[in-house]
Amino acid sequence: MEPRATSDDPHEQSVVDAALYRDGRRVASPSSMAETAQLLREQPGTMAWIGLFRPDAERILAVAETFGLHDLAVEDAIVAHQRPKLERYGETMFLVLRAARYLDDVEEVEFGEIHVFVGSNFVLTVRHSEAPDLGAVRRRMELDQELLARGSEAVLYAIVDSVVDGYAPVVGGLQKDIDEIEIQVFRGDPQVSRRIYELSREVIEFQRATRPLLGMLDALIAGFSKYERDTELQRYLRDVADHATTVAERVGGFRQMLGDILTVNATLVSQRQNEEIKRLTEASFAQSEDVKRISAWAAILFAPTLVGTIYGMNFVNMPELKWELGYPFALALMLLTGLVLYGLFKARDWL
């Protein structure tokens, strides 16, 4: 839901929606924070629900002064990038929630952040990202007047429930990514290690968003019981806590699975490297054997060639030229040299 223009004040552009409710029905839609505060004072029994989208520091400080918000909580809302938490400042609760949504086109998880201030007669949401869609939460609550009539704590329940429900598609998307990675690992895809690393970072970030939520919900349920709040809302919150526990367990399982997949991938890569080294070694050994055989036969053939070359010089002063046994002797010498070399190379397994 895009921010609507509520006045000529540029700071008011950050106001997505502001409304007053009585008995679960919208009774006013003020156009400014000042008007909202004035109507809230003039109409006892009403509850204000104001939604801000990426407000600047000046806008947040003005709202904080109007509703008497604690300085530390206001500072967190301005700075943003906070861990999920629940804090109480007198009669006001301050929650930081991390929303998430799965982007199918890029197969990535996008994380958002929302700060919620809850008082006895007001709910103020400060959203720093597109997700979650609190406009849908408001429309659902306005259709369920009985639930909205339970007050600001019912609105808080609806916001937390929306954030937790938004985790389900993310869990499904991560499961699909892990299944694809397993296929890539056993296919030997060289890019799979990078994808495992990137997905592990997303899972860790998702775990940081979901794990603190369990303690927050436990504290919230305990606070509702301590301050004797609506029993039905306690039941609703327990249901949200069950869903959040399931998500946290799945995310923890994803992290373990990715660790195991990374180990398997490293093992398979090592095996492929060993097989490649073995293949190269065998090829080198075969090549070495061929070289030895060629060298042995070259040496065997070289000896007769050398003898024949010497005897073929035909110099005058060569006594063997007029020796009757010179030709048989030369042939015998060639044959004997070849046989001796053949025997030596055979003994050394060169042939």
Distance CA 272, CA 275 (A): 5
CATH architecture entry for 280-347? Up-down Bundle (1.20)
Residue 229 phi, psi (nearest 5): -80, 180
| Most confident region among 98-107, 115-124, 214-223, 338-347 by mean pLDDT | 115-124
Q: What is the mean pLDDT of residues 227-245?
A: 85
With a cut of 80, say whether residue 229 has pLDDT above it.
no
The candidate with the shortest Cα–Cα distance to 161, out of 249, 238, 250, is 238
pLDDT band at residue 7 under the 50/70/90 scheme: very low
Question: Please, which pLDDT band fits residue 1 given cuts at 50, 70 and 90?
Answer: very low
Higher-scoring residue by pLDDT: 198, 332: 198
CA pair distance 100, 205, nearest whole angstrom: 10
Give pLDDT tens digits for 249-279. 999 998 888 888 888 888 877 777 788 888 8
For the chain, give every domain's residue range: 1-144, 280-347
pLDDT at 315 over 70: no
3-state secondary structure the chain: CCCCCCCCCHHHHHEEEEEEEECCEEEECCCCHHHHHHHHHHCCCCEEEEEEECCCHHHHHHHHHHHCCCHHHHHHHHHCCCCCEEEEECCEEEEEEEEEEEECCCCEEEEEEEEEEECCCEEEEEECCCCCCHHHHHHHHHHCHHHHCCCHHHHHHHHHHHHHHCHHHHHHHHHHHHHHHHHHHHHCCCCHHHHHHHHHHHHHHHHHHHHHHHHHHHHHHHHHHHCCCCHHHHHHHHHHHHHHHHHHHHHHHHHHHHHHHHHHHHHHHHHHHHHHHHHHHHHHHHHHHHHHHHHHHHHHHHHHHHHHHHHCCCCCCCHHHHCCCHHHHHHHHHHHHHHHHHHHHHHCCCC
Token code pair at residue 80 = 């943003």
pLDDT at 310 over 80: no
Which position has the higher pLDDT, 69 or 286?
A: 69
Q: Is 280-347 the same fold as 1-144?
A: no
Give Cα separations from 237 to 82, 153, 161 (angstroms): 23, 10, 8
Beta sheet of 108-118, edge-to-edge order: 25-28, 15-22, 47-53, 122-127, 108-118, 92-103, 85-89
Q: Which CATH architecture has domain 1-144?
A: 2-Layer Sandwich (3.30)
Q: Is the pLDDT of residue 197 over 80?
A: yes
Give the model's confidence band at 176: pLDDT under 50 very low, under 70 low, under 90 confident, else very high.
Answer: very high
Q: Which two tokens stand for residue 68?
A: 């008497």
pTM: 0.74
- Mean confidence (pLDDT) of the chain: 84
More confident residue, 340 or 25: 25
In the predicted model, is pLDDT for residue 341 greater than 80?
no
> Is 326 or 248 the better-scoring residue by pLDDT?
248
pLDDT at residue number 126? 92
Q: What percent of the chain has pLDDT over 70?
A: 91
pLDDT at 313: 67
Mean pLDDT, rounded, for 287-302: 77
pLDDT at position 287: 79
Contact 41, 66 (CB under 8 A): no
